[in-house]
Structure 1
Amino acid sequence: MGHGFGGLYKLRGIVTYRLSPFELKAFGGIISHGIPNTIRRTAESILYIVPPIALGYLCYSEIEKAHHRTMLKNPADFENDK
């Protein structure tokens, strides 16, 4: 009994190698792999993102124009006021 949690059994004949996370490069491959991957993913998803945004902007701008037109006063209503 007396073994700690990590030493409950022994593996014999199996050799494992592992690199410590503290020895890895934090930004390794960001220029050679990260930027091209970002460009590729953006190009693939642009057809899903741009049309709804464009449609939303067009709706918003037309509604704002209509609201502005309806808020204007009619000058003919005030011709006889002095």
Structure 2
Amino acid sequence: MRPTPALRLQATRILRGGHGPDPKNGVYMGWWGSLGSPTQKNIVTYTVSPNRLNPTHHIVSDAIFNTFRRTRNQILYWVPPLMIAYLVMDWAIERNEYLNSKPGRAEFGE
């Protein structure tokens, strides 16, 4: 199978250094890596969405409001046991101090 004259011309130009117009488009096609070809059409470019550029943008304000909301919803579950524990501990400390004082030893001592 014999190549067409255009392909033969292009092959000889490539062997000689690739200079001269392209037989198909009539423009210079440089050597490998610097083709200098016509600009591409229908190029698709992708960008990052603005809300993805800075993922920590609202982190402080969101943390404050989210903590407030979650605490408000859970406050009745952890405040009563905390108050009971505080009152029991306060009573135990006062009772221990009284029992180890002079009047407590006189009342309950031997």
Instruction: Give the TM-score taking structure 2 as reference length.
Output: 0.41
How many residues of Structure 1 are paired with residues of Structure 2 in the alignment?
55
Note the residue ranges of structure 2 that are not aligned, 5 or more in a row. 1-45
Distance, in Å, in 2 between the alignment partners of 1:57 and 1:26 is: 41
Q: Deviation at 1:73?
A: 2.0
What is the identity, as a one-letter code, of the residue corresponding to 2:90?
S
Deviation at 1:64, TM superposition (A): 0.7
Which one has the largest radius of gyration? 2
Unaligned runs of 5+ in 1: 1-16, 78-82
Q: In the alignment, what sits opposite 1:41? A: 70
Q: Which of 67, 72, 76 is the aligned partner of 2:101?
A: 72
Please tell me the root mean square deviation across aligned C-alpha atoms, in Å: 2.5
- Which of structures 1 and 2 has the larger relative contact order (alpha carbons within 8 angstroms, sep 6+)? 2
Q: For 2:80, which of 48, 51, 59 is the aligned residue?
A: 51
Calculate percent identity across the aligned residue pairs. 33
4+ runs of 1 displaced by more than 4 Å?
none
